[in-house]
Amino acid sequence: GQNIDQPTEMTATEGAIVQINCTYQTSGFNGLFWYQQHAGEAPTFLSYNVLDGLEEKGRFSSFLSRSKGYSYLLLKELQMKDSASYLCAVFNDYKLSFGAGTTVTVRA
Amino acid sequence: NAGVTQTPKFRILKIGQSMTLQCAQDMNHNYMYWYRQDPGMGLKLIYYSVGAGITDKGEVPNGYNVSRSTTEDFPLRLELAAPSQTSVYFCASSPTGSNQPQHFGDGTRLSIL
């Protein structure tokens, strides 16, 4: 079975840093994706981790520890447009299993 | 470049009616997927396909059917609509089944009353 947990909501101030945690217990693991989804829109790809460690892409970074079943997405220099839902997804056997998503609200 | 195109964008159905949600991609991707997303929930995989003529069940396939006669198209069929199928449906595609991101369509918002 698949169990993927992430916090439901987070609020932060413009210009700040927010860290979204994701823990997983899955029957298999080939990698972990993070997607961003604005309200009423489709998910869009943010980052992918297959090996342990940190992947940095501009203001967004993602970390993976396979031994701990843990990942986080770090959003730096928050902007109002970063208000969205962030979805953690485990990739295994051609398929993605998603967490419920974390809604991030950025306040001025 | 259109990417993944879903039609219709919105639809209201009566209980017991049937309909087909269309999905087409122009990226020559082999892998295609159908998800549903309920409010406050993550995406749940309904069906997927690894190539033309090949389909397989995902996590929540009951009440749905799919076909994949061409690489481009992957329609999702609801035979007897039920209120529990009210959801937002997303179609996605990826080039291969390896670690490449899936590209999503804009979704179909379906209400069954």
pLDDT tens sequence across A80-104: 999 999 999 999 988 999 999 999 9
Cα A8 from Cα B68, distance rounded (Å): 36
Q: Of B60, B56, B54, nearest to B84 (Cα)?
A: B60
**What pLDDT score does B1 carry?**
65
Q: How confident is the model at residue B96 (pLDDT cuts 50, 70, 90)?
A: confident
In the predicted structure, residue B17 carries a pLDDT above the cut 80:
yes
Give the DSSP letter of residue B73: B
Cα A103 from Cα A105, distance rounded (Å): 7
**What pLDDT score does A17 carry?**
97
**What pLDDT score does A1 carry?**
64
For range A37-65, the mean pLDDT: 95
Residue A81 phi/psi, 5° resolution?
Answer: -70, -10
**What pLDDT score does B2 carry?**
77
**What pLDDT score does B100 carry?**
85
Contact state of A94 with B50 under an 8 Å Cβ cutoff: yes
* B98 vs A27, more confident: A27
For an interface test with B, the pick among A94, A97, A102 (most B C-beta atoms closer than 10 Å) comes out as: A94
Q: Which residue has the tokens 């970074």?
A: A61
Which among A89, A91, A100 has CB closest to B40?
A100
**What pLDDT score does B25 carry?**
97
Which among B33, B42, B50 has CB closest to A100?
B42
Q: Are A40 and A106 in contact (CB under 8 A)?
A: no
Contact state of A41 with B106 under an 8 Å Cβ cutoff: yes
Task: For Cα atoms B77, B82, B87, give the angle at the middle one, nearest 5 degrees.
Answer: 75
Burial of A45 (0-12, 13-18, 19+ CB in 10 A): middle
Cα A102 from Cα B4, distance rounded (Å): 25
Please report the beta strands in chain B, taking only residues with DSSP state E, as ranges in sequence order.
Answer: 4-7, 10-13, 19-25, 31-37, 43-51, 54-57, 64-66, 76-78, 87-94, 103-104, 108-112
Rounded to the nearest angstrom, the minimum Cα separation between A66 and chain B is: 16
Q: What percent of chain B has pLDDT over 90?
A: 88
In the predicted structure, residue B90 carries a pLDDT above the cut 90:
yes
Q: Of A99, A41, A94, A42, nearest to A71 (Cα)?
A: A99
Contact state of B102 with A96 under an 8 Å Cβ cutoff: yes
Mean pLDDT in chain B? 94
Q: How confident is the model at residue B78 (pLDDT cuts 50, 70, 90)?
A: very high
Q: Touching check for A69 and chain B: CB below 8 Å?
A: no
Rounded to the nearest angstrom, the minimum Cα separation between A8 and chain B is: 8
